[in-house]
Each structure stands twice: as C-alpha cells, then as structure tokens.
Amino acid sequence: MKKYIVLFLLILIGTFSLKAISDFKKTTEIGSIYSSKEYAQTLRKDLFSLMMAYPKYIIDIEIVNNDQVYLVLKSGQKLLYDDKKEKSQSEKLENPDLQDMMEEVYFLGPIDRLMPQNYNPGRLRVYPLLKEVYGSHQSEIEKNLTGITINGGHHRFNHNNSAANFLKSAITELNHLAQDHPALWGYMYPIGGTYNFRHIAKTNRLSPHAFGISIDLASNKNDYWQWTTRAAGEKRLKTYPEAIVEVMEKNFFIWGGKWGQFDILHFEYRPEIIIKALYFNNEKKDLWYENLPVEDLRVSNTIWLIEERLQQFPAASPQ
Ligand SMILES: [Zn+2]
C-alpha cells in the first residue's frame, strides 16, 4: 500500500513540475517576444507612422507600469498600443488595438494578383482613434464634412486631418491624367459614393464611409469579394488602371483592391498605413529610423519624442 502512495506522490510531483516547466517556457517565450529587438523596432515604427499621420490629434506617448505604451490624444483620451492578447481574425476585426491595426504591411505600387484571403492591410480600424479625429457620432462627423465637386457632382468628405484636401488633390490629378488617357474615365465615373453614415454590410461596425474618409469610384459587379468569385475579382483587378492606384496612394489613400477580401472600387484615407509602407519596408536596419528624411523637422522631432519617451522602456533598445 505504502508503495502505491509513494508512486502516486511521485506521479503528482512529476505532473506539477512538468506543468511548471511548460508554464515557465510559455512566460519566457512571451517575455522574449516583447523584449526582442524586432518588437522594439516595430513599436517605434508604428508610433512614428501614427504620430506623423495624425499630428494634431496624437500629442504624446506615455508608458504605464513600465510595460504599457499609450498614445495620448488631444482630448486627453489614451489609447493602448498593444493589449498583448492572442486574437482570432474576427476578434481582431471587432476589437483591434493599434498594434493589430498596423501589423499587416501594405505594399505600395501595382499588383496583378489578389492578396491571400486573410491578408487585409488597413482593414482593421481602431474606432476610438477615428472618432477622435473625424467626429464621435453622426452629428459631430457631419459638422466636419465639406462639399467637394467631382466631375459636376457634389460629394461630402471629412475636412479634418486634411482628408478632403488630399481627396481634392488626387481627383484634380486624375482628371488631368484622364484628358490624355480617356480610358480612365470609365473607372472613375460615375462616383459610387463618399460620405454615408452606415454600417459595413452584415456587421455592427461603422463603415469608413460613415466618417467621410472613403470614396468608391465607378462600380463594377466584380469589385467586392461578397458579390463575386475570386477568379472574376482577380480578372477585374488585372484590368484596373495602375495610375488611379498610384495617384490615390500618393495622397495617403489605401486601396481595397489590395485586400484579400477585396473591395476594388474602394479607396480610404489612411495616412498611418501609407506612411508605414513608404518608410518601413521589410529591409532590416540596425536603426529603426535609418531610412527617414531626418532633415525634415517634423520627422526629426517625432523621432526625438519617441526615443525620449521610450528610453526607460524595458524592451530592448533598437540600437
Ligand atoms: Zn467603399
């Protein structure tokens, strides 16, 4: 009998120590992700892209409890950079943090194949940030709208954070191009729509059209992943004029044609995604700001602020 009790105790101790070892492994693995050089660099690149994209609305960075990085907004609201939770794709869509929103890299320039189904850079949106910048509810958003005449039609767009100005400059350039390349007209007009206070089809999430930061150009039945097959969508993608995408991206609009769940007629003003794509491709650099035009005062001031605020941050320094 005694023998059995000893055996039982040994098994019990063994089980506990195995569990302790695997728990220890888990924490050190997680710990090492957050203290890795790569994480430290990505964090700084994301903060830089966000601060450059929303200069009047993101005013500072704050570290809480030594390991939580917050963006401080003009209203005093603070947004956590990384909640460090494992999330499924649908949980990310419902409740992304800033790190989730910035994670999938957007590629600038022409593409002729659809992205994989689950690759949708820029489709995650941190709503508290959009609400801070463009208006927190319908009537506040509508106060921030301005009318733009596009090809004789009247369209409303949000003037905050220069969104409407960049749309105007993109449309002016495209109209100019279309004079020499008349095939562009059919892809641009009639405009599908700009501001529209609505939810994304079959979801409870507000559409970016509800903030007045998106434009749908001329519509085609194969433009949207839920209207058509991937093969037909890809065929449409291959015919889509590169000039339209290039001009829109130059003005800080991302293109729904670069989402695996494609939305080819859709362009959305998302300067943080374009800035990250512009300056931080996947090349590994020793210094995270190596590629940046530091002669630009806004750029060097932003780098300085990030380095200053994060110098106490426990994640490994990027240098
Ligand atoms: Zn749209």
Cα of 27 vs centre of ligand 1, distance in Å, is 42
pLDDT > 90? residue 228:
yes
Of 22-26, 32-36, 274-278, where does mean pLDDT reach its minimum? 22-26
What percent of the chain stands above pLDDT 70? 87
Question: Which of 8-12, 37-41, 271-275, 283-287 ranks highest by mean pLDDT?
Answer: 271-275
**What is the Å distance from ligand 1's center to 221 Cα?**
14
Q: Please give the distance, rounded to the nearest whole angstrom, from the Cα atom of residue 172 to the centre of ligand 1.
A: 20
What are the tokens at 197? Answer: 């206070």
Burial class (CB in 10 A: 0-12, 13-18, 19+), 162: middle
- Asked if pLDDT for residue 193 goes beyond 90, the answer is yes
Task: For residue range 272-287, list pLDDT tens digits in order.
Answer: 999 999 999 767 778 8
What is the model's pLDDT at position 26? 46
Tokens representing 266 are 């859709």
Distance CA 294, CA 305 (A): 13
**Minimum mean pLDDT range among 32-46, 86-100, 143-157:** 32-46
Residue 175 CA, ligand 1 centroid: distance in Å: 20
Overall average pLDDT of the 239-262 stretch: 97
Cα(92)–Cα(125) distance, integer angstroms: 9
* pLDDT confidence of residue 107: 94
For ion ligand 1, residues whose CB falls within 5 Å:
214, 216, 266
Of 173, 171, 136, 152, nearest to 269 by C-alpha is 171
Q: Where are the alpha helices (DSSP H) in the chain?
A: 2-35, 37-53, 89-94, 98-103, 127-134, 138-143, 163-180, 183-188, 230-239, 242-250, 271-279, 297-310
Expressed in angstroms and rounded, the spacing between residue 222 Cα and the centre of ligand 1 is 14
What distance in angstroms lies between residue 118's CA and the mean position of ligand 1's atoms? 19
Q: Which of 16-20, 199-203, 303-307 has the highest mean pLDDT?
A: 303-307
Percent of the chain with pLDDT over 90: 77
| CA–CA gap between residue 289 and residue 318 (Å, rounded) | 10
For 216, residues 6+ apart whose C-beta sits below 8 A from its C-beta are 191, 192, 193, 194, 209, 265, 266, 267
Which of the two residues, 161 and 33, has the higher pLDDT score?
161
What's the DSSP call for residue 84?
A: -
- Which stretch of 94-108, 182-196, 231-245, 278-292 has the lowest confidence by average pLDDT? 278-292
Q: How far is the CA of 179 from the centre of ligand 1 (A)?
A: 25
pLDDT at 317: 44
Mean pLDDT of the chain: 89
Calculate how far, in angstroms, residue 245's C-alpha sits from the geometric centre of ligand 1.
14
pLDDT at 119 > cutoff 70:
yes
Count the Cβ atoms, other than its own, within 10 Å of residue 190. Answer: 12
Q: For residue 250, is pLDDT > 70? A: yes
Q: Which helix (H) or strand (E) holds 61?
A: strand 58-64
